[in-house]
Amino acid sequence: MRAAAGKDLETVVVRPRFVWGLGDTTLLPALTELIRADRFRWIGGGRHLTATTHVDNTVEGFWLGATKAPGGGIYFVTDGEPVVFREFVTRMLETQGVTPPDKSIPAAAAEAAAVAAERAWRTLRRPGSPPLTRFAVWVSSKECTIDMSRAERELDYRPVVTRDAGLAAMAS
């Protein structure tokens, strides 16, 4: 994106993390399907901190980036304070009437399985994505907290939807 900047085009980068909310057609349905098929495991226990960004907060960040940010700016936007991954995902799944199991797999074992699955998919030229990827392991097992103070300071960014309100909307 920044490489596209030039004399006639200014760019601004807005980076949300773990976008979620009402109408999710990717993450939540995939997790729900894994649980219902008894193929879900917490990777490394899921007790790490993570940043999340409700879809409305993502849009707010994009809007402020488009209307207030100087060209070349890079801004992280989130829901605010980080949350324990397992607790948040559990609450999100419960909005769909699904309770995740307490089963866990060590992160190193999940990483090895993901590497093997990706290699098999490439070698065998299987369609679609493997059942476990290194990216999924990374997102599901590594702490990722984000400093959004630049967006707060320079764009006056503030989350417009709290996690509680977003989860309540998903449950209704």
The whole-model pTM stands at 0.88
pLDDT (tens place) for every residue of the chain, 172 residues total:
555 555 667 899 999 999 999 999 988 998 999 999 999 999 999 999 999 999 999 999 999 999 999 999 999 999 999 999 999 999 999 999 999 999 999 999 999 999 999 999 999 899 988 988 999 899 899 999 999 999 999 999 999 999 999 999 999 8
Our count of domains for the chain comes to 1
Domain assignment of residue 125, yes or no = no
3-state secondary structure of 75: strand
Residue 20, domain member (yes or no): yes
Q: How far apart are CA 71 and CA 9, in angstroms?
A: 9
DSSP 8-state symbol, 18? S
Contact partners, residue 156, CB within 8 Å, separation at least 6 = 64, 68
Report which secondary-structure segment, H or E, holds 19.
Answer: strand 19-20
Evaluate whether residue 132 is within a structural domain: no
CATH of the domain at 13: 3.40.50.720
The answer to whether residue 49 sits within a structural domain is yes
Domain that includes residue 49, residue range: 2-103+143-171
Say if residue 151 is exposed, middle or buried (CB neighbours under 10 Å; 0-12, 13-18, 19+): buried
CB 105 within 8 A of CB 34: no
Domain membership flag for residue 134:
no
Report the alpha-carbon distance of residue 98 to residue 131 in Å, rounded: 20
Q: Are 160 and 144 contacting, i.e. CB atoms less than 8 angstroms apart?
A: no
Decide if 28 is inside a domain: yes
Residue 136 belongs to a domain: no
Residue 153 in any domain: the answer is yes
